[in-house]
Amino acid sequence: MRILILGGDGYLGWPTAMHFAARGHEVTVMDNYLRRRMALEKDSEPLVPLVPMPERVRRFEAETGKRIRAVVGDCCDHEHLLQVVRDSAPEVIVHYAEQPSGPYSMSDYRSARLTLENNLGATFNVIWAVMEAAPDCHIVKLGTMGEYGTPNIDIEEGWIDVTHKGRTQKFLYPRQAGSLYHTTKVLDTDLLWFYVRMHGLQVTDLMQGPVYGLSTEETDLHEELATSFSYDDIFGTVVNRFVVQAVAGVPLTVYGKGGQTRGYLHIRDTLQCIELAANSPPGKGQLRILNQFTEPFSVNQLAERVKTVGDRMGLKVQVQPVENPRKEAEDHYYNPAHSGLLELGLQPHYLTDEVMASMLEQVLRHRDAIDRRKILPRVRWSS
Ligand code: USQ
């Protein structure tokens, strides 16, 4: 397949690009380094310093003999994106090109505005570039489980039948996001659904839960192929943060009561899910929504697991609940469906003690690089 990966320099974008290229697909990545710039601006650099994109691509070719074409560019620049789509003639576009952090989107006016403009602007331009230059292309878009929030009823995969006064219709499942970032993903879904209805696009919108892990088949080939592994309060997801905290000897920062439950997945399963979605397009005029996670955990359960495995490794892990900087339910019902990707063939990698131990071991190798000042929450949802 010819695949264009937007946001191909990020935590998930770069491993996705290598994954497809290693399997013989023709891969182009486009990225404007926004994520690297935001990390600098917020003092949130990843654990392992990243080499520039051209060097990553060269190293990948040296290790595998496979090429990745890299373009530096902003998806909010319509002309440039259109040109890249014309040049690469993609059969699949994987769209990761968004500001991905809830805390960043809640930190101040500028960051909120950037999140809104970047995320909506990029999605809008992707839709238009496809309509103008690649109308048969399948858009695989990264949404988030956070679009649904934590409702007191079961969460379905994207859609729900509503019966009202004796009549029934299928609608997008109600959405109630918990940060501005998550809200931009809700708006993305609405935009995509509008253009699917009006112009017959084919779209898979993947409602992904928080991802953990720093190792994929290709990142393990060479240290210069490492992905950006964040552990700070703004860009780090909770499992990755807890692993780093355990290694640094910082008590695990459970926010509030710790009953917050989400559906998690290993980074290797993100790659599998994207590949499964790409291999089975939904057909023109379809918006397919799949819930992308493998197992639910509460924050307390995660802390307990990190502690159990960390203690076994002699780390003496402590857990210290801190005041919750976010506005979210800390004790709630959570029962989301997630059969779609399993039906497509997903073989989950679960968060076993072995997986946890191997993450701890990998982070231990970079123990000296951990900056403890980046760990405690700096952003509050309300002042
Ligand atoms: N949490 C803690 N302690 C911490 C960090 C987080 O208790 O030190 C809690 C949060 O309050 C939240 C849960 O852990 O209840 C998950 O937080 P997170 O930071 O791992 O995830 P979130 O902010 O929701 O965002 C992440 C990614 C985002 C993706 C989303 C999937 O940054 O790009 O869309 O996970 S989901 O959470 O399902 O919406």
Is residue 383 in a domain? no
CA 201 to ligand 1 centroid distance, Å: 31
Determine whether the shortest distance from the Cβ of 211 to ligand 1 is under 6 A: no
Residue nearest to atom 35 of ligand 1 (CA): 210
Question: Is 161 within the bounds of a domain?
Answer: yes
Using alpha carbons only, what angle is made at residue 112 by residues 12 and 245, rounded to the nearest 5 degrees? Answer: 50
Number of domains in the chain: 1
Q: How far is the C-alpha of 178 from the C-alpha of 280, rounded, in Å? A: 31
Would 381 be classed as within a structural domain? no
Alpha helices, H only, 145-266: 180-199, 238-248
In a domain, 316, yes or no: yes
pLDDT tens track for 333-376 = 999 999 999 999 999 999 999 999 999 999 999 999 999 999 99
What pLDDT score was predicted for residue 383? 63
Q: Is the CB of 237 under 6 A from ligand 1?
A: yes
Ligand 1 pocket, residue 19 CB under 6 Å: no
Distance 237 CA to ligand 1 centre (A): 5
| Active-site annotation holds for 144 | yes
Asked whether residue 379 is domain-assigned, the answer is: no
**Residue 233: partners with Cβ closer than 8 Å, 6 or more residues away:** 103, 241, 253, 325, 374, 375, 376, 377, 378, 379
DSSP SS3 for 297: strand
Q: Are strands 261-266 and 211-212 parallel, antiparallel or unpaired?
A: parallel
96 included as an active-site residue? no
Give this prediction's pTM.
0.97
Predicted local distance difference test score (pLDDT) of residue 310: 98
Burial call 342-368: b when 16+ CB within 10 Å, e when fewer: eeeebebeebeeebbeebbebbeebee
Give the chain's mean pLDDT.
97
299 touches ligand 1 (CB under 6 Å): yes
- Structure confidence at residue 184 as a pLDDT band (50, 70, 90): very high
Answer whether 82's CB lies under 8 Å from 129's CB.
Answer: yes
Give residue 314's identity as a one-letter amino acid code. G
88 lines ligand 1 (CB under 6 A): no
281 found inside a domain: yes
Q: What is the pLDDT of residues 14-32, one digit of tens each?
A: 999 999 999 999 999 999 9
Are 129 and 353 in contact, with CB atoms under 8 Å apart? no
In-domain check, residue 380:
no
Rg (CA), the chain: 20
Please check whether residue 141 lies inside any domain of the structure. yes
* 97 Cβ contact list (under 8 Å, min separation 6): 6, 7, 13, 30, 31, 32, 75, 122, 126
Q: Which domain holds residue 200?
A: 2-374
Give the distance (Å) from ligand 1 centre to CA of residue 325.
12
We report the CATH number of the domain holding residue 40 as 3.40.50.720
**Of 142, 102, 182, 177, the residue nearest 290 (C-alpha):** 142
Which of 94, 91, 10 is CA-nearest to residue 56?
10
